Structure 1
Amino acid sequence: MTKIVGLTGGIGSGKTMVANFFKEEGIPVYISDERAKIIMDKPEVIQKIQEIFDENVQKEGKLNRKRIREIVFKESHLLEKLNAIVHPAVKKDFKQWVDLHQKYSFVIKESALLFEQKLYKTCDYIILVTAPEEIRVKRVVKRDGVTAESIRDIIRNQLKDEDKIPFCDWVIINVDKELVKKEIKNIIEDINLRNNSI
């Protein structure tokens, strides 16, 4: 039975880098956000999403994500409706993906909202990626060219790491790339040991 390892972390924590390190080690990784974007480009999903908005949220046959973000940021009831379309579709897509990777003892499910969407309850193990706030802010400012204050706003609105830690099996403090790589090798070993002892 393939085990599901949840991988999460707040903005700027470096969870994408950690996910890529797992890929380099030959572990299948499901990036929830990437898959959600693919799903949201399907014509039947575009149609369902369009139906919840009063204005046209399409651009050249695809969803105008920027406009959708602007609307749902102000109208939370529309965000709930949007999530009610996208989340079940991603859940179904993930199940199909796991079925394709049955020969692996475990797979990684990367999701920024693992706790917010209660997805952690469907995981066998959980890894949290964290880093000091100043480092996180600097990373995102450099990556996205946004203001430090806007990043701090996002961090304040995200669930705090200390609230997630009690539910996690491993916490990766991402400040040194080489140390993180070593830690990932140890985690893989640890997961395999746990799986074999079950």
Structure 2
Amino acid sequence: MYTLGVTGGIGSGKTVFCRFLEAFGARIFYADLEAKRLMQHDEAARAAIVAAFGAESYADDGSLDRAYLADHVFGDAERVATLNGIVHPLVFDAFEEAKTRAAAEDVELLVHEAALLFEAGGDAHVDAVAVVVAPEADRVARVVERDDTTPQAVRARMQHQWPQEKLRARADYVISNDGSLEDLRRRAYTLYQTLTTP
């Protein structure tokens, strides 16, 4: 079994790329979804988050108060690092479990999709990393449409992510999402074949 990390900046198309890989037979581990699940349901994560940021981190019904965390964590580098220090190790544990299951089930390609793969050290947990890149104008337009937001807000979010040049420099494979969906599907198929053909 081969393990591949997939990352890319906001609006690059990394999730769509992963869906294509999944259609060809890959199994996808969505790290950001797993992080949200752990913050909501994992007792150790909940206890650590409450200890670090207060009981207000969770609403009366027990659900994670994302607005509270956004106000009290994001924007403060030290608090972000604290939250990441709680969540990222648990996500990596979950990925190792997913890896064991996938190997037992003869999965040929297991993909670890994460927005902050390099920043979190996720590249150490996979055999190689593919970075999806796209022209900035395309990325902004996609996110404006997807999230019903403004170009200024999207560019502000981009400032908190690694620039594409830095991601490219660390990548084993660079996937350009600068054409049609069919172009991206073909690139996903080529990479899938490359990684799974003996």
What TM-score, normalized to structure 2?
0.91
Residues 168-187 of structure 1: matches in 2 within 5 Å? 168-174=171-177, 175-187=179-191
SS in 2 for 1:66: helix
Give me the whole-angstrom Cα distance separating, in 2, the residues matched to 1:95 and 1:163: 27
Give me the whole-angstrom Cα distance separating, in 2, the residues matched to 1:43 and 1:188: 33
Deviations 1:104-150 (A, max 9, x none): 23211101101111222332111111110011001101111111011
Structure 1 runs, 4 residues or longer, greater than 4 Å off: none
RMSD over aligned Cα, in angstroms? 1.5
Aligned length, in residue pairs? 193
Match of 1:18 in 2: 17
What TM-score, normalized to structure 1?
0.91
- What is the one-letter code of the residue matched to 1:108? V
- What is the one-letter code of the residue matched to 1:160? P
Give me the whole-angstrom Cα distance separating, in 2, the residues matched to 1:156 and 1:58: 28
CA contact (8 A) 1:46 1:62 kept: no
Worse overlay, 125-134 or 155-164: 155-164
Give me the whole-angstrom Cα distance separating, in 2, the residues matched to 1:78 and 1:157: 15
1:72 correspondence with 2:76: no
Give me the whole-angstrom Cα distance separating, in 2, the residues matched to 1:116 and 1:73: 16
How high is the sequence identity, in percent, across the aligned residues? 31
SS in 1 for 2:112: strand
SS in 2 for 1:109: strand
Within the candidate set 137, 142, 146, 2:145 is matched to 142
Match of 1:42 in 2: 41
Which residues of structure 1 form unaligned runs of 5+? Answer: none
Which residues of structure 2 form unaligned runs of 5+? Answer: none
CA contact (8 A) 2:2 2:196 kept: no
**What is the CA-CA distance between 1:180 and the residue it aligns to?**
0.9
SS in 1 for 2:159: helix
